[in-house]
Amino acid sequence: MKLSTVILSLGCIVSSVQAAPTAGPELFKLKVVSSSKELDGHYLASNASTLGIYGSEDVSPIRVYQTSSAKKGCSELHTYPIGIVDHALGLVGSNGLMTLTDMVNPLGAKPADGQDMEWDSFRISDSKLTNDGEGYGTWVVFPTTKSSWTVKWTDGKS
């Protein structure tokens, strides 16, 4: 009799549970549109912290998700997978020419002396990624090796 009372008591404590998938962030890749056939159609990838176009099959395209920024009309682009340490796309440079990078903990990051840093000022409109800047600026690429290119933002003023 005691045993059935204990089992009955456990039955009242244990309840049925199920796990269900929930929606996560909407992920996308950044595809290059260029008049150069060599660059057109490639996806941006990361090699260490530098984002660019890499001819190697070993480098996978980055996946990002968009979050709102404190700057009106702007967005932040964070990399996926999401880990313990936050990663976001950012621009680092000086004199109006900034390199597109993968920034670690951008909220607490400090640029080196003489450098500017932006990570919360991207705009996505008509499937195009730009940086907030009063209508100025454009993306440019520079070759680094035979089949690799770094991506930079120029403000068009310098």
Q: Quick: pLDDT tens for 17-46.
A: 666 677 778 999 999 999 999 899 999 998
Q: Quick: pLDDT tens for 111-155.
A: 889 999 999 999 988 888 999 865 678 999 999 988 899 999 998
Please provide the distance, in angstroms rounded to a whole number, between the alpha carbons at the two ends of the chain: 88
Q: With CA atoms as reference, report the closest residue to 101 among 115, 119, 86.
A: 119
Q: Measure CA 22 to chain center.
A: 21
- The greatest distance separating any two alpha carbons of the chain, rounded to the nearest whole angstrom, comes to 88
Q: Quick: pLDDT tens for 56-89.
A: 778 889 999 999 999 998 999 999 988 889 999 9
Euclidean distance between CA atoms 100 and 103, whole angstroms: 9
Residue 30 in contact with residue 21, Cβ under 8 Å? no
Q: Quick: pLDDT tens for 87-99.
A: 999 999 998 899 9
Residue 62 in contact with residue 29, Cβ under 8 Å? yes
Euclidean distance between CA atoms 97 and 69, whole angstroms: 22
pLDDT at 13 (0 to 100): 56
For the entire predicted model, the pTM comes to 0.80
Q: With CA atoms as reference, report the closest residue to 30 among 71, 95, 75.
A: 75
Q: In terms of pLDDT, which residue wins out, 110 or 13?
A: 110
pLDDT at 16 (0 to 100): 62
DSSP state of 81: S
Q: What is the mean pLDDT of the chain?
A: 85
